[in-house]
Chain A
């Protein structure tokens, strides 16, 4: 069913597609970053596609990512073709669904670390507004053309993006702590604060 969408996408925007794969019956199309907005506009407006339901937008951090068959340890190059040094670090993922035709597609966009920006799709699907803000908050992906790209969950004083794999996982950035009262001696030895 979703193969139909992939075929239509290939015929309409063949040059925008980097590659195509299928996972658990879901079609995934890797789209070139500069043509993502055009492809998304076509997916929304074309009557045979009519993707009217934005499901989610998120990001995957592929820092230190290795396929299943590569044992843990120092990196060994090249393990597979998909895992090379110049592989972009981030994947921005858009899941779309059409309630009218009952089909779905997942768009992926490879984003390198030094230029972490993708075009925003919030103008097409307003529901992506907050989700793109969340993705920016957690991964630091900048969405070009977003109407209001601010942090959505974390406070403005927060430095960094916590779901990046190189963020120290127990690093807290407290806003307020006690200073007027003695700290409980049992708890003052705690290492994680």
Chain B
């Protein structure tokens, strides 16, 4: 009995260590090759251009390549105000991105709705899709954006991005169902 238990524990531990190593390698690769999809709707786009430009140069962190197809990107940057009318489009773009994916809300409008408290502006893009990192500022400084990107990279490395957590949760549920 005791031997059985200890061997399964050992097996579990070995499985865990193996997966974790693989995961760690995967995440290391992911965090340095973020392909952004710029969902640019408003004036924050100018700051986004500044971040992508040579002075602040988001390419230093491996996220220099804006892809204008959600299928080819894994980082959705919501740059600017999201209106209620845009909600379905934003959700569709998010749904079309391949797993794993990450979302950054760029600026107060995308984070909370900002100074818009009226009939047309959505109070934050997280009303529709999950968001990993919020960047305050109207618009945020490029340094803030780089800081947020580094935060997101830490999250990706430790597997705490929302889609990574969701995948883990689904895996746990599937394992539990399988073991029963």
Contact present for A178 and B126 (CB under 8 Å): yes
Chain B residue total in the interface (Cβ 8 A): 21
Q: A181-B130, A187-B124, A193-B127 are in contact. Are A176 and B119 (CB under 8 A)?
A: no
Q: Which chain B residues border A192 with CB–CB below 8 Å?
A: 113, 117, 123
B93-147, CB < 8 A from A: 112-113, 117-120, 122-124, 126-130
A151-193: CB near B (< 8 Å → 1, else 0) gives 0011100000010000101111111111001011001001011
Contacts between the two chains (Cβ within 8 Å), count: 58
Closest chain A residue, CB of each to CB of B131? A184
Question: How many Å lie between the Cα of A177 and that of B90 in the bound state?
Answer: 11
User: A177, B127: Cβ atoms under 8 Å?
Assistant: yes
Q: Are A176 and B91 in contact (CB under 8 A)?
A: yes
Q: Which residues of B contact A181 (CB under 8 A)?
A: 130, 162, 166
CA distance A69 to B19 in the complex (A): 76
Considering only residues 126-170 of chain A, those with a C-beta below 8 Å from chain B are 153-155, 162, 167, 169-170
B88 in the interface, Cβ–Cβ < 8 Å?
yes
CB neighbours (8 Å) of A169 from chain B are 117-119
A155 touches B85 (CB 8 A): yes
Q: Are A178 and B130 in contact, with the CB atoms below 8 A? A: yes
B 75-97 to A, binary, CB cutoff 8 A, 1 in contact else 0: 00000000011011001000000
Question: Which of B112, B119, B128 contacts A170 (CB under 8 A)?
Answer: B119
Asked if B84 and A175 make an inter-chain contact with CB atoms under 8 angstroms apart, the answer reads yes
* A176 pairs with B126, CB closer than 8 A: no
Q: Identify the closest chain A residue to B130 (Cβ).
A: A181
Asked if A170 meets B118 with Cβ closer than 8 Å, knowing A175-B88, A176-B91, the reply is yes
Please classify how large the interface on chain A is, using the bins under 10, 10 to 19, 20 to 34, 35 or more.
20 to 34
A171 and B119 contacting across the interface, CB-CB below 8 Å: yes
Complex Cα spacing A46 to B122, Å: 49
Cross-chain contact B123 with A176 (CB below 8 angstroms):
no
Q: Are B119 and A174 in contact (CB under 8 A)?
A: no
The answer to whether residues A174 and B118 also contact, given A154-B85, A187-B112 and a CB cut-off of 8 A, is no
**Cα distance, A176 to B120, chains bound together (Å):** 13
| Known A-B contacts A169-B119, A171-B119; A176 and B124 likewise in contact (beta carbons under 8 Å) | no
Question: Are B129 and A178 neighbours in the complex by a CB distance under 8 Å?
Answer: yes
Residues of B within 8 Å of A155, CB to CB, are 84-85
Q: How far is the CB of B164 from chain A (nearest CB, A)?
A: 14
Please, how many angstroms separate the alpha-carbon atoms of A174 and B82 in the complex?
12
How many angstroms from the CA of A167 to the CA of B123 in the assembled complex? Answer: 18
List of B residues within 8 angstroms of A176 by Cβ: 87-88, 91, 128
Inter-subunit contact A190/B123 (CB<8 Å): yes
Contacts of B118 in A (CB 8 A): 162, 169-170
A interface residues, Cβ below 8 angstroms from B:
153-155, 162, 167, 169-178, 181, 183-184, 187, 190, 192-193
Closest CB pairs A-B (n = 10): A162-B119, A176-B87, A176-B88, A175-B87, A155-B85, A170-B117, A181-B130, A193-B123, A176-B91, A174-B84
